[in-house]
Amino acid sequence: MKKHSHLVIVALSLAVSSCTNSTSSTPATAPPASAASPSSLVLSTQPAATPAPTTAVPRLLRVLVTNDDGFDAPGIDAIVQYLRTVPNVEVSVVAPATNQSGSGDKSTPGASLVVADVKTLSGYPAKSVAGFPADSVLWAINGGLATKPDLVVSGSNLGQNYGPLNTISGTVGAAATAARAGIPAIAISQGVAVAPAVPYFPASVTVLSGYFADKLATYRNGSPSLLTVINVPTCPDTATLFPTLVAPAATDAKGRSLGAPAPCDGPLTGPATDDIDAFNAGHGVVSYLDPATLAPITP
């Protein structure tokens, strides 16, 4: 009996020794550390990763999508199609019946608005409002939608809305209208392109998805009613898009041509002076405005 016990102990000892040797013979190699990013590179350029399975279901985020180019524009459709892929996001579309570019935050209070059932370019159900972009938002948040949205996304606009252009943009005006009503809002615009190319709206989706990778949880949990403005250049080579920067909105063009295609001659090696500089260098750029005055702010 003792002999058998001794054999069992020896066998177990050999097994443990064998396992120890097999796991320690090849040391683990740590993945290389990524290069440090400049302080202004605060946003991801990649979509949020699919979360690991969990018993906790993210809070439903109701998003109203609008614009100033009209409900059937390609830019708004690109944003709608992206948002539909984000888990636990409910998308409603209410936008002007016709192009209302340059209308700022004009509205038609007291008027009886004509609202119709329509579809976006790819066939997603929407409501068209015969009025300004701000009218679309006001109709939606004041009873037009069964439930008030948690977030408004305006765009993606055909053409950049940066610097002094913010004050005349219907895209920004729609977002500002929502933020003034206590609903956080994002205005996103895709820069014009060198002819004969056209604005490359997939770049707007790339930047917005990267922004959501950092901010989506904040919006789900009740973000302050910030007005965020995002501008994305259409570079001569559409594959070129440098990391997204946060920069103040310019209050003076200082001789720079507003509305021109971005040369995308970056990337910048230091903090951006303002949104125009970042945009021209080829970066998507995020700025924050006071909803009441459209003046630049630092949240």
Entry field: residues in the chain: 299
Q: Is residue 263 part of a domain?
A: yes
Q: Is residue 146 part of a domain?
A: yes
Other residues' Cβ atoms within 10 Å of the Cβ of residue 96: 26
User: Distance between CA atoms of 146 and 297, rounded to whole angstroms?
Assistant: 33
Residue ranges of the chain with pLDDT lower than 70? 1-55, 111
Instruction: Give the 3-state DSSP-derived string for 66-118, with helices as H, strands as E and coil as C.
Output: ECCCCCCCHHHHHHHHHHCCCCCEEEEEEEECCCCCCCCCCCCCCCCCCEEEE
Other residues' Cβ atoms within 10 Å of the Cβ of residue 44: 18
pLDDT at 52: 58
Q: Is residue 247 part of a domain?
A: yes
Number of structural domains found in the chain? 1
pLDDT at 56: 73
> 98: Cβ–Cβ under 8 A, 6 or more apart, which residues?
70, 130
- pLDDT tens across 147-201, in order? 999 999 999 999 999 999 999 999 999 999 999 999 999 999 999 999 899 999 9
Q: Is residue 124 part of a domain?
A: yes
Q: Which residues lie across from 188 on neighbouring strands? A: 230
Domain that holds residue 255: 61-289
- The residue type of 249 is A
Q: Is residue 43 part of a domain?
A: no
pLDDT at 278: 98
User: Distance between CA atoms of 190 and 230, rounded to whole angstroms?
Assistant: 9
Q: Is residue 259 part of a domain?
A: yes
Note the maximum CA span of the chain: 100
Token couple for 169: 């943009």
Token couple for 31: 């993945």
Q: How far is CA 77 from the centre of its chain?
A: 14
Q: Is residue 299 part of a domain?
A: no
Q: Is residue 96 part of a domain?
A: yes
DSSP codes of every residue in 186-201: EEEEE---STT----H
CATH code, domain carrying 73: 3.40.1210.10
pLDDT at 32: 34
Report yes or no on whether pTM surpasses 0.85. no
φ and ψ of 72, to 5 deg: -100, 20
